[in-house]
Structure 1
Amino acid sequence: MPHSRWPQVLFAAAPGVLLAGFGSAHPGQLDVTTAGWWTHLHVFLLPVFPLLAAAVWFQLSPAPPWLRWPGRLAAFGFAAFYGGLDAVAGIAAGTVVTAQGGVTPVVGAVFEIGDLLGYLGAGCFLVAAVILAVDVVLRARLRAAPGAVVLIVSAVSFLDSHIFWPRGVFTMLGVAVGMALLAAVDTE
């Protein structure tokens, strides 16, 4: 791999690695004892999840327009909907549990809409990942297959793993590896 490609590889991998780190500190459940950290963690995550969309966005720069723009639209959808999940099921739910002194039916209603937003966002990420993988495979052929497979398998896992330990953490590490491998492949 040429020396000049290292910044691209690091930029592609960094969001997944950061999210895996946050995932290892994510409480397994929301209750009165975890509500404060739950809320704060999701505030910290608000600017991190969009970095994943940005990494896809930039990796699609050399793609032909018929792949680049749908992929970027899907990446934008991920950032918007998944940010909504963090705001609702993260910040709002943690705040409600703190204010009400425990989990109540209100929290269930908050999680219901948050789960929908998260599933839409993760679905958008899967679409963006598939489009990115198709683009790099079309340009680099079999050299791109390992990164494409790792990224797509990880994006499928992300549909229901969030970043929770352990599966979500390994999912985000898989996203980081897949994105890095795709960024590292020589497409010339």
Structure 2
Amino acid sequence: MIGSRWRRGVFFAVPGLLLAGFGAAHPAHLDTATASRWASLHVVLLPVFPLLAVAQWLLLTSAPPWLRWPGRLAAFAFAAFYGGLDAVAGIAAGTVVHAQHGATPVVGAVFEIGDLLGSIGAACFLAATISIVVAAALRARWRAAPGAVVLLLASVSFLDSHIFWPRGVFTMIGVAVGMSLLSLAGERGLGVLESPVRDR
């Protein structure tokens, strides 16, 4: 589907690495000085966060249906709800602070709904990750262990780290490494399972 093994590994690492890079450039605080950059950065991030959901969707391709479809539904919900966080607590909050020349109670209300959307989205990301890990374990056995551990730990960290430096950046690097390792472990597992068929 995605060409050679190393290209496959890179393909699944790209979304997390992109977000780690944006996280390193993300302002630590929203105030008058950072408001414009805060809003602009989240406009750029709008099409980037859903790439994580695309990667999850593809990692579930070979999963049994009872794992594939709940996992893909969770990945879709992550993209929808986390995109809401990006728009509300990112673009809207930055725009409000910039227009009002400082934080006001309005910004607090914006962050409150944004945090709710983000929490739901991150929980859905974790749910999709669990489906991916179970499917990889069924398919690749022990080969899935390194990627599974890294991706699970990163997905739990993502529940409250967002992509902020430093923890959020390392969380996204963990997502990148975990997805890449699981994609390669799944491919090797498939090869092992299919080799007797090719030998006949």
C-alpha displacement of 1:11: 1.5
Q: State how far apart, in whole Å, the 1-side matches of 2:182 and 2:5 are.
A: 11
C-alpha displacement of 1:6: 2.2
Structure 2 residue runs without a partner (length 5+): 191-200
Structure 1 residue runs without a partner (length 5+): none
Q: Deviations over 1:77-96 (max 9, x none)?
A: 00000000000000000000
Q: State how far apart, in whole Å, the 1-side matches of 2:131 and 2:100 are.
A: 44
Q: Mark the structure with the bigger radius of gyration.
A: 2
Corresponding residue for 1:34?
34
C-alpha displacement of 1:184: 1.0
Corresponding residue for 1:155?
155
Corresponding residue for 1:50?
50
Corresponding residue for 1:179?
179
Corresponding residue for 2:170?
170
Q: Deviations over 1:7-45 (max 9, x none)?
A: 221121100000000000000110000000000000000
Q: State how far apart, in whole Å, the 2-side matches of 1:163 and 1:14 are.
A: 15
Q: Deviations over 1:87-129 (max 9, x none)?
A: 0000000000011110000000000000000000000000001
Q: TM-score, normalised by structure 2?
A: 0.92
Corresponding residue for 1:74?
74
Corresponding residue for 2:197?
none
Q: State how far apart, in whole Å, the 2-side matches of 1:18 and 1:134 are.
A: 26
C-alpha displacement of 1:160: 0.2
Corresponding residue for 1:122?
122
Does 1:109 find its partner at 2:90? no
Q: TM-score, normalised by structure 1?
A: 0.97
Q: State how far apart, in whole Å, the 2-side matches of 1:71 and 1:27 are.
A: 32
SS in 1 for 2:62: coil
For these two proteins, the number of residue pairs brought into alignment is 186
Q: State how far apart, in whole Å, the 1-side matches of 2:69 and 2:10 are.
A: 23
Does 1:139 find its partner at 2:125? no
C-alpha displacement of 1:187: 1.4
C-alpha displacement of 1:161: 0.2
C-alpha displacement of 1:59: 1.1
Moved over 3 A (4+): none
C-alpha displacement of 1:174: 0.3
SS in 2 for 1:187: helix
C-alpha displacement of 1:145: 0.5
Corresponding residue for 1:24?
24
Q: State how far apart, in whole Å, the 2-side matches of 1:5 and 1:60 are.
A: 17
Q: State how far apart, in whole Å, the 2-side matches of 1:183 and 1:54 are.
A: 13
Identity %: 72
C-alpha displacement of 1:65: 0.7
The Cα RMSD (Å) is 0.8
